[in-house]
Amino acid sequence: MSARKRAQWAFGSALLLLFLSGLATYFATRRLLESERWVIHTHEVVGAIGDIDSALSHAGRARNGYTATGSDDFIGQFETAVAELSELLRNLRELTRDNPQQQQLCSHLEDLVARRIALHRESIQFYKEAGGNDPRQETLVRQSVPISSEITSVMQRMRAGEQYLLTTRQAASRRFLILTIITLTISFILALELFAVHYRLLSAELSARETAERTVRESEESLRRLTGRLLQVQDAERRKFSRELHDSLGQYLAGAKMNLEMFTTRGNDSCLAEALQLLDYAMAETRTISHLLHPPLLDEAGFNSAAKWYLEGFAQRSGIEVTIDLHEDVGRLPRPVALGLFRVLQESLTNIHRHSSSAVAEVKLDLVPDRVVLRIRDYGKGIAREVLAGFQTKGTNFGVGLAGMRERMRDLGGELGIERSEPGTLISATIPLAKVPARP
């Protein structure tokens, strides 16, 4: 997976996590609010029971006030308390409709309150009929005592039930609150981590892009410098071949022409024989120059034969002993690879002859299924450190031959390596066979 795909995956995961955490927070908050509503509902039920108790007490005090003073104001207060009791009982029944047990107790309480109010009304009626000395009042008081006790007991049972529900609901509310906080915290931390990963991946991608752009700019600059230097080398090579053609091939042809002219004027057979010999020399020189420019064995027999032919000729011309270790199956190399390796071999041996002062050189070719590696080593004075540093840093302080070899390897998808050995220098050219262009 590429860095961009990983960054997109991290960003998408962060958004998905935020969405899921939002859903989880919504449901947790909803449950928390529902739990809080039930807590408030429990407090409302307890408050309603207290209001009934207070209204009942108010009705009792109004009855006592009337039987003690005979004032009609207490009758009005009593009727107000009775009407309030009816409303409060209906409210209590409405509040406890979700709880069957509390509904039963509420029904029992309504019955007890009705009986208690009926006793109060009888007491008021007896007072109206006989005044304050009616003995029936004592009987009503005795009858109201167990009813009051039972009312108190029912209210206590209802309060105890609501207190249990309150404790349970408060505990559930606390659990939902803690769950909501934990969900938000974990989601926030994970989202931050995923966004951090996304940022790091984007930074890595930008860094890689900047590095690639910098490499491209350096390659373009190196290519421009190499092009200019190659033009200079091309001019120098042309002058060199011009001298070679003039000094060797031209001299042979000029000598042959003079001998043919002498044969024409004098008829001397020795002149004809010498002219033929000079023409043989000219043909051999032409063949040598042609083979050095592009050996025909490279196309006909492959890299192995061309390399052996060139190394034998190089050893004869330079006096350097060359050890050859070539893989036997190099004939199947693609043409661009074979040509690239041959040019690296030529340039490396030329540098050994010119600069290393080495009496021995080693050439080894390793062929594996996915790449081919050519190694050329000498045992001379070694490459200069400033030249090696310029090559490794892609600077300009190295020769056009090294730059040409590196660009040739880069064009084939490979790489050129230079190392200082003790003693001498090791040059390695590695080409991945899977990356070789199809065109030559």
With cut-offs at 50, 70 and 90, classify the pLDDT of residue 135: confident
What are the pLDDT digits (tens) for 166-216? 888 778 778 877 877 887 788 778 777 877 777 777 787 788 888 888 888
- Taking a C-beta distance cutoff of 8 angstroms, is the pair 52, 93 a contact? no
Lowest mean pLDDT among 80-94, 384-398, 413-427: 384-398
pLDDT at 109 over 80: yes
Identify the pLDDT of residue 200.
79
Burial of 204 (0-12, 13-18, 19+ CB in 10 A): middle
What are the pLDDT digits (tens) for 212-239? 888 888 777 776 776 666 666 566 666 6
- Taking a C-beta distance cutoff of 8 angstroms, is the pair 393, 341 a contact? no
pLDDT at 440 over 50: no
Where in the chain are the domains? 3-203, 297-440
Identify the pLDDT of residue 246.
57
pLDDT at 288 over 50: yes
What are the pLDDT digits (tens) for 384-415? 777 777 666 665 555 667 777 888 888 888 88
Phi, psi for residue 192 in degrees, rounded to 5: -60, -40
pLDDT at 21 over 70: yes
Task: Supply the DSSP symbol for 412.
Answer: T
Q: Which two tokens stand for residue 155?
A: 């209210």
Spatial distance between the Cα atoms of 188 and 118, rounded to a whole number of angstroms: 65
Class in CATH terms, 297-440: alpha beta
Q: What does R_g of the chain's alpha carbons equal in angstroms?
A: 56
With a pLDDT cut of 70, the percent of the chain lying above it is: 81
Q: What amino acid is encoded at 39 in this protein?
A: V
Class in CATH terms, 3-203: mainly alpha
pLDDT at 439 over 50: no
Q: Is 294 helix (H, G, I), strand (E, B) or coil?
A: coil
What are the pLDDT digits (tens) for 309-351? 778 878 887 788 888 888 776 656 788 888 888 888 888 888 8
* Top-confidence residue, 23 or 158: 158
What are the pLDDT digits (tens) for 52-68? 989 989 988 888 888 88
Identify the pLDDT of residue 153.
92
Kindly write down the DSSP assignment for every residue of 114-155, as one continuous string.
HHHHHHHHHHHHHHHHHGGG-THHHHHHHHHHHHHHHHHHHH
Helices and strands (DSSP H and E) totals, the chain: 11, 5
Is there a cis peptide before residue 423, judged by omega within 30 degrees of 0?
yes
- Taking a C-beta distance cutoff of 8 angstroms, is the pair 85, 114 a contact? no
Mean pLDDT, rounded, for 110-118: 90
Among 427, 354, 418, residue whose Cα is nearest residue 386: 418
Note whether 3-203 and 297-440 share their fold.
no
What are the pLDDT digits (tens) for 141-172? 788 889 889 989 998 998 898 888 888 877 87
Q: For the chain, what is the mean pLDDT?
A: 79
Q: Which two tokens stand for residue 373?
A: 């590696």
